[in-house]
């Protein structure tokens, strides 16, 4: 398989995978739903454990957005199952989402997840895929840095808000330092529209107009 990941705006590649919840066809089994597929370097590692606990604690919030979670690493399915049991027993946290067992590394290779210079270990990749199976957001972190799961959740909310309202979301939305929870109106496409926007109340200029949803 080609060692590259699908680009934003491309369809997520079809794949049949073995998971802790049985065999899954991705994205086919998630038709009509958004999903977040995230890779981790290995089971039974501290940073990955903290990430899985955080994803589990935010799982219901993702579900409210019609968004499912899917974990992935090169470990075999029995390792995933034992790790999930360990997290339940030792940390009292239930992992409600499936974890792909990519022990042959084929999924990681097809998505460009293999970490250069670190053997078969994967980077901490996140693919946010919409209800039509199209990749909308990609996040990559090195092994040493755990991800912010609230940021992944925020990104899904922002993308869905942008789609539904044909707007853009500012930095740190909905807590932006300039405009709070307001969203940004797309820039004008002609001089007439630009002139109409000059001096309107909710703006910094004709190219920076915002509004409350």
Q: How far apart are CA 23 and CA 16, in angstroms?
A: 7
Token couple for 29: 């089994």
Number of domains in the chain: 2
pLDDT at 2 over 50: no
Instruction: Establish whether 48 is a catalytic residue.
Output: yes
Contact 138, 5 (CB under 8 A): yes
Considering the candidates 17, 36, 48, 126, report the single residue annotated as catalytic: 48
Q: Which of 4-8, 117-121, 128-132, 181-185 has the lowest mean pLDDT?
A: 117-121
* Whether residue 37 is found in the same domain as residue 82: yes
Q: Kindly give the interhelix angle for 77-91 and 46-57, rounded to the nearest 10 degrees.
A: 70
CATH number of the domain that residue 199 is part of: 3.30.1020.10
pLDDT 10s digits, 102-145? 876 677 777 766 655 555 566 788 999 999 999 999 998 888 89
* Whether residue 107 is found in the same domain as residue 199: no
Residues in contact with 209: Cβ distance below 8 Å, sequence separation at least 6, in sequence order: 184, 185, 197, 200, 202, 203
């Amino acid at each position: 398989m080609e060692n590259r990941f699908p680009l934003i705006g491309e369809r997520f590649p079809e794949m049949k995978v073995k998971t802790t919840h049985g065999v899954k066809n991705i994205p086919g089994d998630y038709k009509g739903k958004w999903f977040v597929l995230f890779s981790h370097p290995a089971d039974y590692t501290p940073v990955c454990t903290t990430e899985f606990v955080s994803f589990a604690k935010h799982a219901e919030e993702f579900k409210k957005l019609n968004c499912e979670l899917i974990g992935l690493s090169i470990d075999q399915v029995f390792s995933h199952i034992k790790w999930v049991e360990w997290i339940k027993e030792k940390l009292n946290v239930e992992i409600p989402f499936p974890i792909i067992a990519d022990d042959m590394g084929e999924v990681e290779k097809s998505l460009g997840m293999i970490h250069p210079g670190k053997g078969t270990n994967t980077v901490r990749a996140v693919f946010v895929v919409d209800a039509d199976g199209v990749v909308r957001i990609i996040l990559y972190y090195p092994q040493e840095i755990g991800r912010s799961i609230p940021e992944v959740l925020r990104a899904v909310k922002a993308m869905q808000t942008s789609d539904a309202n044909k707007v853009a979301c500012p930095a740190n939305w909905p807590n932006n330092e300039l405009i709070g929870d307001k969203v940004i109106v797309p820039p004008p496409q002609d001089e007439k529209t630009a002139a109409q926007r000059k001096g309107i109340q909710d703006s910094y200029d004709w190219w920076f107009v915002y509004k409350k949803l």
